[in-house]
Each structure stands twice: as C-alpha cells, then as structure tokens.
C-alpha cells in the first residue's frame, strides 16, 4: 500500500513513517505543502496522510484543490482538538477521516486500513491470523469453523490487536483506541475485556492467542 | 403591583407625600374660609343687635323691631333670621314665629340685674349750678358701662347727643328713653333639626336680645369649596403621579440601558459598551465604571482563552513527538524487560498530560463560546449501551441495570458525548457502595433524549450541590487524585451537554440514591445521516 505522508515536523514524521513501514506500507514523506500538492496530482496513492499546518500551501487548501479536480484519493487529516473547526471544515471538504494529535501510530494505521478498505472494496476486509478469521465488513469472527459472538467493544479490541501481531500494545494505548482518550486511566477495563475476549475465543483454554506483556499491556501472538 | 420597582415606589412616595400636603392645605384653607365667613355673620349680627340692646323699648315695640330685622323671619331659608327677647323674669317677651320648636329658649340666659356689668345707675342729681342739656353722661356712668369697649361707649355718647330731649328728668324712676349698659355680644352655634344656626346674644339690665342667622347659606358655600377641593385633589395627584413616573423613567433609562447591555454580555460578546453621551451626570460615572470593568474583563478573558488555546496548541507537537518516540522505544525494548515497563509508565504520564490539556482546552473553548461540536447522527442507544457494558464489566461488585429505549438518535459529536457518558458512568461506579447498584434509563421526551444515571452510595452533601459542576471540585478532597482524576469531569460533561443545546443536572441526591440527568436534542428523523454544520449547533 502506497502512502503519502505530508508532515513538516521531522520527529513526528520519523516515528509515523517507521510504524507505517513496519506495517508493510510504502511511505513517501513530504514536508512542504506545495511539493505535496504537486505529488498528489502527479502520482497515485492509496492514502494521503495530511497535516493541516504546513509551510507553503496548507493541508485544507491541498484537500480542497484535489477535490475540485475530482481527485478522490482517500485523505486522512492530522488535526488538533484545538482546531475543531478545521476538523469540521476538513470533513465538509471531503476528508475521509481525521486523527487528533497527539496520536499513536497504531491509531493512524487502523484509520488507514479502514479508509483504504472503504475505497477498495472487500480485498482488505478479512483479517486472518493463526486460525482466527475476522471479517471487518460483516463483523463476523470465526475460530476455525466456530462462530464467536463479540460485543462492539470486544470486536474493536480484537481488531486493534490483530492488526499487528507481535506488536506490544500498552494498556493506555488500547484504552484510548477502544474507549476514548478520556476514559478513567486508573480503571482495569482493558484487563477485564481481555479476559472476556480470551474466554470467548478460547473456551477450552488450549492456548491464548492474546499474550500478556507484564507491566505493560498485551500483544497478539505472532504465528 | 410591583412594589419592588423603584419607579413604582418613587411614584407612590411622591403621590402620598404631595397628597398629604395637599390634604392638610385643603383642610386648613377650608377651616380658614369658614372662620372668615362666620366672623362676617357675627359682625353683621352684632351690628344689628347692639343698637337694639342699648336702649329700653316698650314691650309693644318688640314685634315691630323684630319684624324690621331683614330679611324677615321665614323668607329665604338660607338667609333666615330668628329673633328672641327674654324679659327679666325669664318670660318670653318676643319670639319670631319661625323659632324652631326643637330649640329650647332656656339655652339663652334671662337678663340678670345682679350682673355688675348691667347694674343700672340712675343719672346723678342735676348739679346745683344748673341743668345741663345734652351733655355727656356723668363720669361714673361711663365707668360702670364698658370703658374697655369703645364702640358701645361712643355709640352711647352719640345716641345721647342725638337722642330726644328728656323732658321728664327729675320726675324719678328710669327715664323712658335711656341708654343701657349691655354685655358684649356672645356668639353660639346651635344645631336643630332644620339646620345649624348662629346666635348673637346681648343682655342689658331689662331684656336679653337674641338674633339668629341660619348657617344653611354658609354650609352651601363651604360645600362648594369642599367640592372644589375634592375635584382638584385627584387631578393634582394624577398629574404628580404622571410627572414622577415620566421623570423617573427618564432618570432610570440609563439604568435600564445598563441592564440591557449587561444582559447581552456573554463570554462570546464581551465587546458590548454603553454610550455615555446625553446621560445625567449621576449615571455617567456608573456607566464609565461599568464600561471600564467590561474593558478589563474582555482583556483578561481574551488573554485567558488565548492562553489556554495557545498552550494546547503549543503542547500538541511536543506531546505528539514525546508519545510517538516513547511508543516506538517501547516496541523496540525487549519484551517484558524493566526498560519496557519504564517506557510504559512514561506513556501513562503522557496520556494523563494529554487528557488534562485536552480538557482544559475544551473548557476554555466552552468558556469563550467556541465549543462547537462536529455534529453527526449518533445512536445514543448504542453509546449508552457501551457505557452499560463497561459498567457491567468493570463494576462486578455492583448490580448494573439498564432500561434503554431502542433507536434513540441524536445529532452530536460522538467523541464528546462518549466522554461525558464515561465521566458520569465512572463517577456512578466510584462513589458507590459495596453491593450497590447503577441504573441507566434512556427515554425520549418531545424533542429531547433523556438519560438518567442513578447510583447508590452516600449522597452528595446538599451544601455541595451548587459547587458540584465547578472546575476542580471534588466531593471528598482527602480522596484526592486517585479517585477523581483532576476534578474536571462533571464540569466538562455539563459544558459538552450545553454545547449540544442540552444540559446536565443533578436530579436528586438523598441517602443512598443519586441521579444525574443528561438531555440532548433528538436528531431530526427526516434528515437521515445528515451532517449538520457547526454553525447550526451554535454555542
């Protein structure tokens, strides 16, 4: 998957790029608005990740011009809550999604997948890891041939972990993705849901697909 | 009547004060006029009775004298006269035919010869030097008469000079035509069935002469005066009331302008000012002070809002970098290592920092009226359902029940509403007791969705109900940060509800039962999936 990352802050661009590349994406990084606009017109990308505050042409103006030219490439905006109006304007201008700064790379990855899936149809809509099949469209989860019934929260949690098997997800990051950034950080809601998820996915206790990383969080077992 | 209104009070005060003054004035004027009229009547009667009483009259002359007092007995009732003459033994010598039967004649004294003022002194024997004709009365007669009453004395001397010649002098006994000493006129007022009468009574040694005048004419006159006053008084009071109402309105217009502006002043409209031109000096100072206060308020408010926004803005880049780098380092550290745990702790602190700046930013936006939710159609039933699920999962020691209307949709900012819900729900779990319960009820009103969240546990002290939604409020300070984050939750939840044109209120907090209620406007069912603009949401 080919991603154009438009971000002028080098360090932010650095860790985002790294995370995206680990995910197997091809990342092109641009730190200037005018340059980004030229590239977006010239090349074909699966997703453009667009910061709003940029030297040269700003993100919203790039988005507006692309949409004016009937260029429907999926766009994810990087915004801050302080710019609620930017966010709204971005959505009205035809952005496909937005990610609020500060954000986790995994959050951005999940949004990129969701946006790309919407743009390309069913190709990317099934996750399959170690006998576990998750259909992101029908929201069907199968363990082998066994259908597993999950709640919305459990499904979101499983999808998040399954996206990058082997990657460590700290509790606070899981909490932010599934419950929102404001959920009481002292609660053990993540642990409780992980337990429930484990029981549902593996009622016999044959071997958990979700591993505990002591003192940190969880990860999906790499096959 | 609005007695709390300054204008009403001012008008009432001026009306009652001037009404009192006018009433006192009218009463004294009325009394004075009456007095003057009475004096006139008295003087007129004394002038008529005096000449009659000064001289002796043969009995048969009295009817003739009485008849000569014009206007005669009877006649015009307003000018009617009464006439009474009493002899020395109390017998009635003459009485006018219209004398009222209800008025006893013994009200008027009979002449008393014993009265030293009336003692008849025979003229001194003629001096041996020869008779004097028409001379002045002897010294002692003048002295025994009324030396302190010049009028009768001079009248007496005049009459003596003009009187008929006294041919019978020296024959003994009182002369047939003689000047008598008289008492000064006494005036009384008597009320009879036919009306009030004013009487003038004079006595000489032989008879008491009483002349009465009807007061009907005076009564009518005084009634006219009284009616005049009664007609003028309300008109005057009305004019005074109108005047003071208008004057006070003019005076208070500045105050009302002030109130209007103060009303229009909200966080988002601090630029309102009151014009001070053409205003009374007394109010100009108030307006200047008020405008100055608004200046300072606008300046400091603007600074505060800008500061919060700038701070959050400036923080977002370093926080993004910090979080991203730490997360990256955590991935690269050996799994389960001490190093990884340290990174995790750092990440949690960054998370806390993020949450606080985010909340402060939202609150500052709410304060400046700029918290504009990005509205989309959101299933409130779904959001509440997730909150219920969380509560059931988290609070295994509590009974969590839910009664949710299906398919309740609102136009809302999903993230913000979720944040408000998780605040309320985690509070309901935190401030609960062992074995307690949490109850979620979602229902729809006319055009609002109503969510009530009830929990058991110790109630919120009544004195804290007002402070509950204040920033950094905590029900129990000693429990500190461990239990309530930074104390912004309820305050923010209410701001979020209000930014959606809804509200968050504490419904009740008694022993073992505390209920909060969130209201949010329902989504228009005809606009399925529509994306409303922020401008429409307003503030």
Assigned domain for A192 exists: yes
Q: Pick from A106, A121, A136: which residue ends a domain? A: A121
In this structure, the answer to whether residues A35 and A114 fall within a common structural domain is yes
Q: Which chain A residue lies closest to B483 (C-alpha atoms)? A: A186
In this structure, the answer to whether residues A114 and A154 fall within a common structural domain is no
Assigned domain for A175 exists: yes
Say whether B320 and A104 touch across the interface (CB within 8 A).
no
Distance of residue B404 Cα from the nearest chain A Cα, in angstroms: 17
| Nearest of A116, A103, A110, A124 to residue A164 by alpha carbon | A110
Q: What does each C-alpha distance from B480 to A182, B389, B477 come to in angstroms?
A: 18, 27, 5
CATH of the domain at A187: 1.10.10.10
In this structure, the answer to whether residues A114 and A156 fall within a common structural domain is no
Assigned domain for A117 exists: yes
- Looking at residue B101, its pLDDT comes to 78
- Looking at residue A164, its pLDDT comes to 84
In this structure, the answer to whether residues A19 and A55 fall within a common structural domain is yes
Burial of B315 (0-12, 13-18, 19+ CB in 10 A): buried
Domain hosting A24: range is 2-121
Contact residues, chain B, for A171 at CB < 8 Å? 344, 348
3-state SS, residue A17: helix
Nearest CB to B389 within list A84, A88, A153:
A153
Assigned domain for A41 exists: yes
Decide if B438 contacts B428 (C-beta within 8 A).
yes
- Looking at residue B415, its pLDDT comes to 83
In this structure, the answer to whether residues A102 and A203 fall within a common structural domain is no
- Does any CB of chain B come closer than 8 Å to the CB of residue A146? no
In this structure, the answer to whether residues A157 and A110 fall within a common structural domain is no
- Looking at residue B44, its pLDDT comes to 86
Q: Categorize the per-residue pLDDT at B536 as very low, low, confident or very high, splitting at 50, 70 and 90.
A: very low
Instruction: Give how far the C-alpha of residue A190 lies from the chain's centroid of Cα atoms, to the nearest Å.
Output: 19
In this structure, the answer to whether residues A184 and A101 fall within a common structural domain is no
Share of chain B above pLDDT 90, in %: 18
Residues 259-318 of B with CB under 8 A from A: 309, 312-313, 316-317
CATH of the domain at A95: 3.40.50.2300
Considering the entire predicted model, what is its pTM? 0.59
Q: Pick from A121, A138, A165: which residue ends a domain? A: A121
**What is the arithmetic mean of pLDDT over B36-40?**
91
Q: Regarding predicted confidence, which is higher, A25 or A187?
A: A25
Which of B88-92, B239-243, B505-509 comes out lowest in average pLDDT?
A: B88-92
Residues B213, B211: Cα–Cα separation, whole Å: 7
Assigned domain for A140 exists: no
The answer to whether residue B350 scores a pLDDT higher than 80 is yes
Residues A188, A191: Cα–Cα separation, whole Å: 5
Q: Regarding predicted confidence, which is higher, A89 or B411?
A: B411
In this structure, the answer to whether residues A170 and A78 fall within a common structural domain is no
- Does any CB of chain A come closer than 8 Å to the CB of residue B362? yes
Assigned domain for A182 exists: yes
- Does any CB of chain A come closer than 8 Å to the CB of residue B354? yes
- Looking at residue A87, its pLDDT comes to 67
E-strand stretches of chain A: 2-6, 26-30, 47-51, 75-80, 97-101, 126-129, 132-135, 140-143, 146-148, 169-170, 210-213, 217-220
In this structure, the answer to whether residues A178 and A108 fall within a common structural domain is no
Assigned domain for A205 exists: yes
**What is the arithmetic mean of pLDDT over B8-25?**
90
Per-residue model confidence as pLDDT tens digits over A13-34 = 999 999 999 888 999 999 999 9
- Looking at residue B142, its pLDDT comes to 44
In this structure, the answer to whether residues A31 and A100 fall within a common structural domain is yes
> How many domains does chain A divide into?
2
Structural domains of chain B sorted by starting position, each given as residue range(s) with its CATH number in brackets: 281-367 (1.10.287.130), 376-537 (3.30.565.10)
Assigned domain for A133 exists: no
Task: List, in sequence order, every residue forming a beta bridge with B497; answer none if it has no partner.
Answer: none
**What is the arithmetic mean of pLDDT over B252-266?**
75
Token duo for residue B488: 């912004």
In sequence order, the 6+-apart residues with CB closer than 8 A to the CB of B369 are B266, B267, B268, B539
Say whether A91 and B419 touch across the interface (CB within 8 A).
no
Per-residue model confidence as pLDDT tens digits over B159-192 = 444 444 444 444 455 555 567 778 888 898 888 8
Which of A36-40, A146-150, A168-172, B283-287 comes out lowest in average pLDDT?
A: B283-287
Q: Categorize the per-residue pLDDT at B479 as very low, low, confident or very high, splitting at 50, 70 and 90.
A: very low
- Looking at residue A185, its pLDDT comes to 75
Say whether B320 and A9 touch across the interface (CB within 8 A).
yes
In this structure, the answer to whether residues A87 and A164 fall within a common structural domain is no
Contact residues, chain A, for B343 at CB < 8 Å? 216
In this structure, the answer to whether residues A93 and A178 fall within a common structural domain is no
């Amino acid at each position: 998957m080919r991603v154009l990352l438009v971000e002028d802050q080098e360090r932010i661009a650095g860790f985002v790029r790294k995370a995206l590349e680990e995910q197997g994406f091809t990342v092109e990084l641009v730190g200037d608005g005018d340059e980004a606009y030229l590239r977006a017109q010239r090349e074909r990308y699966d997703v453009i990740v667009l910061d709003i505050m940029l030297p040269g042409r700003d993100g919203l103006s790039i988005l507006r011009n692309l949409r004016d030219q009937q260029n429907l490439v999926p766009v994810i905006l990087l915004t801050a809550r302080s710019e609620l109006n930017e966010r709204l304007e971005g959505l009205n201008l035809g952005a496909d999604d937005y990610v609020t700064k500060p954000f986790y790379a995994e959050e951005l990855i999940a949004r990129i997948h969701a946006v790309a899936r919407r743009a390309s149809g069913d190709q990317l809509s099934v996750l399959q890891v170690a006998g576990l099949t998750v259909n992101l469209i029908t929201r069907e989860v199968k363990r082998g041939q066994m259908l597993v019934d999950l709640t919305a929260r459990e499904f979101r949690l499983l999808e998040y972990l399954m996206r990058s098997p082997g990657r460590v997800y700290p509790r606070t990051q899981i909490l932010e993705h599934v419950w929102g950034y404001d959920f009481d950080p002292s609660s053990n809601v993540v642990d409780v849901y992980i337990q429930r998820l484990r029981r549902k996915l593996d009622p016999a206790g044959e071997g958990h697909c979700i591993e505990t990383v002591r003192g940190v969080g969880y990860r999906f077992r790499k096959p | 009547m609005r007695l709390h209104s300054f204008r009403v009070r001012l008008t009432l005060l001026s009306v009652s004060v001037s009404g009192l003054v006018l009433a006192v004035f009218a009463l004294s004027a009325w009394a004075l006029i009456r007095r003057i009229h009475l004096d006139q009547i008295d003087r007129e009667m004394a002038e008529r009775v005096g000449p009659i009483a000064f001289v002796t009259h043969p009995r048969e002359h009295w009817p003739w004298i009485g008849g000569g007092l014009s206007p005669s007995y009877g006649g015009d009732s307003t000018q009617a006269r009464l006439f009474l003459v009493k002899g020395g033994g109390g017998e009635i010598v003459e009485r006018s035919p219209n004398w009222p039967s209800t008025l006893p004649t013994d009200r008027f004294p009979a002449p008393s010869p014993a009265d030293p003022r009336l003692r008849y002194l025979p003229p001194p024997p003629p001096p041996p030097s020869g008779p004097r004709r028409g001379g002045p009365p002897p010294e002692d007669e003048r002295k025994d008469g009324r030396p302190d009453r010049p009028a009768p004395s001079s009248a007496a001397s005049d009459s003596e000079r003009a009187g008929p010649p006294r041919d019978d002098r020296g024959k003994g006994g009182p002369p047939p035509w003689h000047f008598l000493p008289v008492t000064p006129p006494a005036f009384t007022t008597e009320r009879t069935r036919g009306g009030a009468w004013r009487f003038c009574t004079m006595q000489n040694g032989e008879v008491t002469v009483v002349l009465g005048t009807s007061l009907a004419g005076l009564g009518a006159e005084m009634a006219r005066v009284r009616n005049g006053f009664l007609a003028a008084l309300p008109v005057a009071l009305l004019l005074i009331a109108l005047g003071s109402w208008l004057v006070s309105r003019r005076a208070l217009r500045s105050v009302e302008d002030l109130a209007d502006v103060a009303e229009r002043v909200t966080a988002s409209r601090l630029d309102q000012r009151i014009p001070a031109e053409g205003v009374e000096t007394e109010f100009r100072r108030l307006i200047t002070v008020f405008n100055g206060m608004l200046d300072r308020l606008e300046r400091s408010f603007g600074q505060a809002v800008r500061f919060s926004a700038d701070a959050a803005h400036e923080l977002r880049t370093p926080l993004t970098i910090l979080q991203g780098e730490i997360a990256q380092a955590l991935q690269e550290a050996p799994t389960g290592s001490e190093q990884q745990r340290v990174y995790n702790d750092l990440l949690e602190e960054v998370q806390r920092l993020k949450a606080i700046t985010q909340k402060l930013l939202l609150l500052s936006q709410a304060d400046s009226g700029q918290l504009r939710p990005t509205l989309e159609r959101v299933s409130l039933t779904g959001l509440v359902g997730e909150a219920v699920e969380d509560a059931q999962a988290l609070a295994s020691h509590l009974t969590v029940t839910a009664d949710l209307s299906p398919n309740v949709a609102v136009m809302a900012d999903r993230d913000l509403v979720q944040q408000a819900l998780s605040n309320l729900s985690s509070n309901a779990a935190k401030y609960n007791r062992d074995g307690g319960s949490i109850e979620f009820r979602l229902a729809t009103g006319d055009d609002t969705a109503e969510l009530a969240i009830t929990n058991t546990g110790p109630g919120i002290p009544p004195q804290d109900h007002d402070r509950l939604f204040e920033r950094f409020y905590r029900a129990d300070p000693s429990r500190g940060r461990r239990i309530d984050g930074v104390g912004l939750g309820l305050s923010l939840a209410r701001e979020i509800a209000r930014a959606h044109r809804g509200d968050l209120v504490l419904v009740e907090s008694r022993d073992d039962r505390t209920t909060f209620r969130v209201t949010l406007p329902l989504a228009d069912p005809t606009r399925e999936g529509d994306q409303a603009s922020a401008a429409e949401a307003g503030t």
